[in-house]
Amino acid sequence: MDTSSLDEATKARLQRVADLMLDIYQTRAEMRYIDAAAIKLGPHDITHLMPLYQSLKLDPTVTYLYSILPYVDEIEAGQREFYMGGTWFNQLDREQVQQGRDPFYLSPEGDDFSDPKGPYMRPWFTPLSVLCERQQVIVYDAKGDRIWTIDQGSWKNEDPALRDAAEWEETQEDVDRCREQLAHYEKAAAASKSTKGKWRGKFDALKASLELQRSLMETQEAEADMAGRDQGPGGGGNMRVKECRVLMRRLKDREEALGTNNQALVTDRTTVRRIRAERRLGEKEAASLVKAVEAAKADVERLFPGVEVDLDAPYDEPSDQDTAERDHASTEKLIASLESDIVACQDWQATVPRMQRDLIRSVKDEMDRTKTVIERLRGDNGRLRDEIERLAHRKDLRGNRGQFGTI
C-alpha cells in the first residue's frame, strides 16, 4: 500500500481514531459485553483488498485507516449488536466494505454529492458500524476528522433511563476528544515554520473549537435529562426503579439462555464455535449482572426505603409523540449550531490572506458540506413534524372517543 501521499500528521490523526475505536472495544470487553479475544488489532495486511478499495475509489486516508483499524470478530464476540442496534464494521470483509458505500441501502443515483438523490458517502467517508434494526450508522470523515451518526428515520429508544446515561457518557467523551484535538491543532499551528502550515493549523483549531462548543452543549442537555432521576418514586426517580427492573430482566433472560444447551443440536464447526463463544460470554455477563442487580436494588432501597422492585410491573414509557418532539427539538438545536458554524467560518475566512487560495477553498468546502448536512436535517425534521402532527391528531381522536363514544 502506497502511503506516500499522507503526511505524518495525517497518519497520527488516523492512528488516534484507531486508538479511539480500540478503547471502545476494550471497554465493551471490560464490561463483559464481548469476549476480549474477539478484538483483532492492526496493522492488517490489506494488499489483497486494494483492488476492491481502488474500484470503490476510496481515498488514501480511508485505505490507510483500514490497515490500522481494529475490528471485532462477530462470531468470537458472542454478541452481534455494537451501537444503537447496528453491528460491528469489519473493514476486511469485502461485502461490508462494498455495502459501506451505501450504508442505508438507498441505491443513490449518479456521482453528484450535492444531489439529494446522489451518494452520501464521499471517498474519504467510512462507516464505523453497520446498519441493522435501529437504522443508525456511525460515520467518520477521514479528511475533516469528524465522527457523527446518521439516521435513516425516526428512532425510538426503548430504554430512556439507560439511554440518558449512555448519551451523557458519549457526549463527555466527545468533549474530552475535542479538547485534546483543539490543543493538538493549536500546538501544531504555533510550531509550524511555514505560513501555510500555521494557517492550516489555525483552521483545524477553529473546527475543533466549534465541535467542542457543540459537544459541551450536548453534554449539558444530557445532564439536564438525567437531573430528575433521583427526585422520588413518583417523578423522575422512577428511572432508578426502571434501571433496576431492566437489569433484573436481563439477568433472568441470561440465566434462561444459559440453561439451554444448543450445542448438542448442531454439527457445523462455525456454528459450534459461535455457540461456545456466546456461552463463555454469557457466563461472564451473568456474573456481572448479579453484581449490577444487587447494586441497583441497594440504590432503590437507599433512595426510596420500603419500595420493592416488581419485575413484571408496567412502566409508562414516553409516547411516540413525546419521543418525536424530543428528537425534533434536538435536531433544531443542532441545525442552529451548524448555522453558527457557517457564520464563524465566514468570519474567519475573511481574515485569511488572499494568497492562501487552497485554504480559502478548504473553508468554502467545509461550509458547503455543513450546508448539505443542514439541508438533510431540515428535510428529516420536516418529516418528523408531519409525524408529530399525525400523532397529535390520533391522540385527539382517542380523546374524543373517550368523551363522546365511538365516532
Contacts 24+ apart (CB under 8 A), 372-380: 372/113, 372/114, 373/338, 374/335, 374/338, 374/339, 375/116, 376/116, 377/331, 377/334, 377/335, 377/338, 378/335, 379/116, 380/151, 380/331
The residue among 244, 248, 176 whose CA lies nearest residue 212 is 176
**What pLDDT shows up at residue 349?**
95
**What pLDDT shows up at residue 407?**
38
Lowest mean pLDDT among 82-96, 125-139, 313-327, 343-357: 313-327
Cell triple for residue 326?
424530543
**What pLDDT shows up at residue 82?**
78
Lowest mean pLDDT among 36-50, 118-132, 161-175, 384-398: 161-175
**What pLDDT shows up at residue 47?**
92
Confidence tier at 403 by pLDDT (50, 70, 90): low
DSSP 129: E
State the Cα–Cα distance between residues 119 and 78, nearest whole angstrom: 34
**What pLDDT shows up at residue 335?**
92
**What pLDDT shows up at residue 114?**
66
**What pLDDT shows up at residue 359?**
94
The residue among 136, 208, 205, 196 whose CA lies nearest residue 167 is 136
Greater confidence (305 vs 63) lies with 63
Lowest mean pLDDT among 59-63, 234-238, 341-345: 234-238
Q: Is the pLDDT at 133 greater than 60, yes or no?
A: no
**What pLDDT shows up at residue 406?**
42
Residue range 62-111, pLDDT digits in tens: 999 999 999 998 877 777 777 766 788 999 999 899 988 988 777 777 77
Q: Is the pLDDT at 299 greater than 50, yes or no?
A: yes
| Most confident of the ranges 53-57, 222-226, 248-252, 380-384 | 53-57
Which helix (DSSP H) or strand (DSSP E) does residue 236 occupy?
none
Lowest mean pLDDT among 63-72, 172-181, 232-241, 298-307: 232-241
Query: At a CB cut-off of 8 Å and minimum separation 6, what does 332 contact?
Result: 381
Q: Is the pLDDT at 391 greater than 80, yes or no?
A: yes
Confidence tier at 156 by pLDDT (50, 70, 90): very low
C-alpha distances out from residue 11 to 79, 124, 140, 190, 326, Å: 31, 14, 15, 20, 39
Q: How many helices (H) and strands (E) does the chain have?
A: 11, 8
Contacts 24+ apart (CB under 8 A), 177-183: 177/20, 177/215, 178/208, 178/211, 178/212, 178/215, 179/212, 181/145, 181/208, 181/211, 182/208, 182/209, 182/212
Mean pLDDT of 22-27: 86
Sheet-wide strand order for 125-127:
125-127, 136-141, 146-151
**What pLDDT shows up at residue 124?**
92
* Residue 241 C-alpha from the chain's centroid: 27
Q: Is the pLDDT at 126 greater than 70, yes or no?
A: yes
Cell triple for residue 203?
483552521
Residue range 335-364, pLDDT digits in tens: 999 999 999 999 999 999 999 999 999 999
C-beta separation of 82 from 88 below 8 A: yes
Q: Is the pLDDT at 236 greater than 60, yes or no?
A: no
Please name every residue paired with 86 in a beta bridge, in sequence order, or none if there are none. Answer: 83
Report phi then psi at 396, rounded to 5: -65, -40
**What pLDDT shows up at residue 127?**
92
Greater confidence (222 vs 248) lies with 248
C-alpha distances out from residue 218 to 167, 171, 207, 329, Å: 9, 6, 17, 12
C-alpha distances out from residue 15 to 64, 126, 228, 265, Å: 9, 15, 39, 44
C-beta separation of 104 from 155 below 8 A: no
**What pLDDT shows up at residue 293?**
80
